[in-house]
């Protein structure tokens, strides 16, 4: 099958876009499919080089899915952001040629609406990672409209999520159209033996405000003083930390799961409102690798930690609360690490990139609306 992997968010190496796209391309190629990648028009050299021995990459899309609608207009900014992006995307989609499938690893509302405008003969499969109101107070309206237009255009499509709460959110917006719950495309780096002691603590991801980056300047030195080794990673290469005994600073790494697996606990001090229904690749890789996680309560990551038993959740996202949770995990590490190890064994039976791609390739036709 000839597949076009479409990702206007593929711009640089920060965030999840490059990681997911590389995994998907490798898996599709292993299944014998022909794949071409269409990235943002401003994709940097490092992104392009990442695909040099994998698939042809075309820097194409003008519209970037992230931005501040209020900067466009204080009243109509959201509407302009949605319509302008969809129009630009549709114009670009008309240039990509014939494919059997348009594969969207990270689908946004303007992208779905753009597909409706173009009404391709290609089937469409897309995975949604963000809540409907991401960047837009009226986001439910834009998603609802995109789904309605998809119905009118009679798109052959398979739309899903990897977080159960997002399935609930989007099922309320799609009317007769089903929202699939896909497996998570993270294999982790699982071990055949469980961890035995807590000495190394990891902070991973694209460090920014909603991920709790502001806490790190106080939290990391405190943990170092308490005798822990600390790994501080930032895929956006923005962290500039002074050298200190016990501190490892990482920028972009090609296999993040391997670095996570070297830790004895991973802390994700995420902002609860931002992560109420949003998943975390860091948490997925940690659980898949048998590494305990500490996450703030009332978030999608904390619900997963509670369900799997693979760590601790905290109600207060303060430095003191995080440190108390770390001490608790250290004092009960045999129990906590065993639960995390068992969770990693279960993970391998239900998740991973093979299962994710297989699910994305299934069920690509919506039922006829009643």
- What one-character-per-residue DSSP string does 256-279 give? HHHHHHT-SEEE----TTTTSS--
C-alpha span between 17 and 13 (Å, rounded): 8
**Residue 308 DSSP one-character state:** H
> For residue 367, what pLDDT is reported?
38
Spatial distance between the Cα atoms of 165 and 179, rounded to a whole number of angstroms: 11
Q: Kindly state the greatest CA–CA separation across the chain.
A: 65
pLDDT for position 14 = 82
User: Considering the chain, what percentage of its residues have pLDDT values greater than 90?
Assistant: 85
What does the angle CA 166 – CA 5 – CA 369 come to, to the nearest 5 degrees? 50
The secondary element (H helix, E strand) that includes residue 38 is: strand 34-40
Burial class of 138 by CB neighbour count within 10 A (0 to 12, 13 to 18, 19+): middle
- In this structure, what DSSP letter does residue 92 have? H
Q: Rounded to two decimals, what is the model's pTM?
A: 0.91
Mean pLDDT of the 286-297 span: 96
Q: Average per-residue pLDDT in the chain? A: 93
Q: Which helix (H) or strand (E) holds 59?
A: strand 56-61
Give Cα separations from 179 to 30, 96, 104, 263 (angstroms): 27, 27, 15, 35
How many Cβ atoms from other residues are within 10 Å of residue 275's Cβ? 24
**Distances 67 to 72, 85, 178 between C-alpha atoms, Å:** 10, 11, 28
pLDDT value for 241: 66
Q: What is the pLDDT of residues 10-54, one digit of tens each?
A: 999 888 999 999 999 999 999 999 999 999 999 999 999 999 999
User: pLDDT digit string (tens) for 132-191?
Assistant: 999 999 999 999 999 999 999 999 999 999 999 999 999 999 967 789 999 999 999 999
Residues 6+ apart with CB under 8 A from 321: 314, 315
β-strand pairing of 200-203 with 265-267: parallel
Same fold, 2-185+352-360 and 200-350: yes
Instruction: Sheet with 157-161: list strands edge to edge.
Output: 56-61, 34-40, 2-7, 101-104, 123-128, 157-161, 180-181
The pLDDT of residue 209 is 84
Residues 275-286 have a mean pLDDT of 94
Q: Give residue 369's pLDDT band: very low, low, confident or very high (50, 70, 90).
A: very low
Tokens of 95: 């240039």
What gap in Å lies between CA 285 and CA 259, rounded to an integer? 10
Domain coordinates of the chain in residue numbers? 2-185+352-360, 200-350
CATH of 200-350, one of 3.30.70.360, 1.20.1250.20, 3.90.1150.10, 3.40.50.2000: 3.40.50.2000
Over residues 208-262, the pLDDT tens digits come to: 888 888 899 899 999 999 999 999 998 766 666 667 889 999 888 889 999 999 9
| DSSP of 317-346 | -SHHHHHHHHHHHHHTHHHHHHHHHHHHHH
Q: Give the whole-angstrom CA distance, residue 79 versus residue 72.
A: 10
Q: The domain at 2-185+352-360 falls in which architecture?
A: 3-Layer(aba) Sandwich (3.40)
Q: With DSSP H G I counted as helix, E B as strand and the rest as coil, what are the percentages for the chain, rounded to 5?
A: 40, 15, 45
Q: Give the relative orientation of helices 333-350 and 300-308 as an angle to the nearest 10 degrees.
A: 100
- Considering only CA atoms, give the Rg of the chain: 21
DSSP 350: H
* Phi, psi torsion values for 160, nearest 5 degrees: -155, 180
| Residue 322 backbone phi and psi in degrees, to 5 | -65, -45
């Amino acid at each position: 099958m000839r597949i076009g992997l479409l990702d206007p968010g593929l711009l640089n190496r920060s965030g999840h876009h490059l990681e997911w796209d590389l995994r998907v391309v490798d898996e599709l190629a292993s299944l014998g499919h022909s794949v071409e990648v269409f990235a943002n028009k401003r994709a940097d050299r490092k992104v392009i080089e990442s695909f040099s021995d994998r698939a042809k990459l075309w820097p194409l899309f003008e519209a970037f899915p992230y931005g501040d609608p209020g900067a466009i207009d204080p009243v109509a900014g959201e509407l302009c952001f949605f319509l302008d992006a969809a129009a630009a995307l549709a114009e670009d989609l008309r240039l990509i040629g014939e494919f059997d499938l348009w594969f969207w690893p990270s689908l946004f509302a303007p992208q779905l609406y753009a597909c409706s405008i173009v009404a391709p003969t290609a089937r469409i499969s897309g995975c949604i990672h963000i809540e409907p109101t991401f960047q837009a107070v009226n986001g439910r309206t834009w998603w609802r409209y995109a789904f309605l237009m998809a119905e009118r255009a009679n798109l052959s499509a398979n739309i899903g999520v990897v977080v159960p709460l997002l399935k609930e959110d989007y099922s309320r917006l799609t009317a007769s159209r089903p929202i699939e719950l896909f497996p998570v495309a993270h294999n982790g780096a699982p071990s055949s033996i469980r961890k035995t002691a807590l000495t190394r603590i990891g902070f991973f991801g694209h460090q920014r405000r909603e991920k709790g980056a502001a806490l790190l300047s106080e939290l990391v030195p405190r943990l170092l003083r308490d005798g822990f080794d600390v790994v501080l990673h930032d895929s956006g290469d923005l962290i500039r930390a002074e050298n200190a005994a016990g501190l490892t600073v990482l920028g972009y790494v090609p296999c993040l799961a391997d670095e996570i697996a070297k830790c004895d606990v991973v802390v994700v001090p995420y902002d609860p409102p931002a992560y109420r229904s949003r998943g975390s690749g860091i948490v997925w890789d940690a659980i898949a690798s048998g590494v305990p996680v500490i996450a703030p309560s009332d978030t999608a990551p904390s619900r997963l930690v509670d369900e799997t038993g693979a760590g601790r959740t905290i109600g207060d996202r303060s430095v003191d609360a995080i440190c108390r949770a770390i001490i608790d995990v250290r004092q009960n590490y045999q129990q906590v690490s065993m639960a995390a190890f068992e969770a990693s064994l279960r993970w391998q039976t239900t998740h991973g990139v093979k299962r994710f791609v297989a699910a994305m390739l299934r069920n690509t036709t919506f039922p006829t609306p009643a």
